[in-house]
Amino acid sequence: MSFAKDVKLEILEQDIEDSLEATSFMSSLFHACGNLNKNSQGLNIDVITDTKEVFPFIDKIVKKLYGENLSLGISDDHIINKTVYYKISFPASVSMSILKDCSIIEQNAEGISFQNRLDRNLVCDNNTKISYIKGAFVGCGTSSIKLSQLGSKSPTTGYHVEFASRQHEFLEGLQELLTEFNITSKISPRKNIFVLYIKDSESIKDLLALMGAVSNVLVLSNEMATRGLRNVVNRQVNCINANISKTVEASLKQVEAINYINKKIGLDSLPEDLQEVAVLRLANQEESLDELLKLSTLKLTKSGLNHRFRRILKIAQILKGE
């Protein structure tokens, strides 16, 4: 199960008792994943979702507010990318009332017009604003967050939550509400749709907390801690490996120089202080300077030992005519 799906299920576990909050939730849900169809009976509403648990949630709302039940079926395009999509159908007898109450349509003497802009009468306080954001996430919220504890093959993917819609005005209204709760987001076009996205991990945690997805706030916090620890360990391992590579490379150059000197003029021709470190290196070719100092009876510092090896390398260069 995806991280976004877990968040949706946690949202849907929360009952909405207030009628205006419920209407606000349904309004954004319709904008996010609703379909309107016109037939001889008038306008019909369908909600298309891959989250089956949406059905009992809004069925309870419609039953309470309008005294009718919804019906659940499989969408005509029921499998997309191996995902089953469900169609939640609203009864024609109350569809017009629901659409008006949710500010999806306006009816006047000139006829019916559709509204994509945010109706501020629906989101008149913090609770209704939060309900609107919840409905939007349940309807069209997705995330690319892959959790380490679920054995993701690429758990280091960045933090990303987005809302995708064909309605730019709907996303603009949603962005306004998020801004009021100090959650920064951006909107950009993507092919034939628009996407409102949040990439900052702290902003994503704020969004989850705002929607009441407390368990998933903890999950995301643990994921951030795990990734942080992994990054620290990786940096330390990389540093150790780099130091080992440097040590091996330096040792190989020193051994090569000592062997060349021995072949050309013999180690006995070296000054006594250089003979000692040359023999020490040949006997301990894989050790670092720190380890050589521990093995040596010479009273040298690391800098002093390194200086003697530089002198040996210089002598080898001179003998090679470089």
**Tens digits of residue pLDDT in 135-183:** 999 999 998 888 775 554 454 457 889 999 999 999 999 999 999 999 9
Residue 91 CB burial class (10 angstroms; 0-12, 13-18, ≥19):
middle
**Cα 64 from Cα 60, distance rounded (Å):** 6
Residue 212: predicted pLDDT? 92
Residue 159: predicted pLDDT? 84
**Cα 23 from Cα 98, distance rounded (Å):** 8
Alpha carbon distance, N-terminus to C-terminus of the chain: 65
- Quickly count: other Cβ atoms within 10 Å of residue 150's Cβ: 12
Spell out the domains of the chain, with CATH numbers in brackets. Answer: 3-212 (3.10.28.10), 239-320 (no CATH)
Residue 76: predicted pLDDT? 66
> What are residue 196's phi and psi, to 5 degrees?
-100, 125
DSSP 177-199: HHHHTT---EEEEETTEEEEEE-
Which residue carries 């207030």 as its tokens?
A: 18
pTM summary value:
0.71
The DSSP H or E segment spanning 64 is helix 54-66
Contact in structure between 164 and 184 (CB atoms under 8 Å)? no
Task: Give every residue of the chain whose pLDDT is below 70, as ranges.
Answer: 1, 40-41, 76-81, 109, 111, 149-157, 228, 322
**Cα 126 from Cα 207, distance rounded (Å):** 14
Which residues on adjacent β-strands are paired with residue 198?
161
Which residues on adjacent β-strands are paired with residue 195?
164, 188
Residue 221: predicted pLDDT? 82
> What is the maximum alpha-carbon separation in the chain?
111
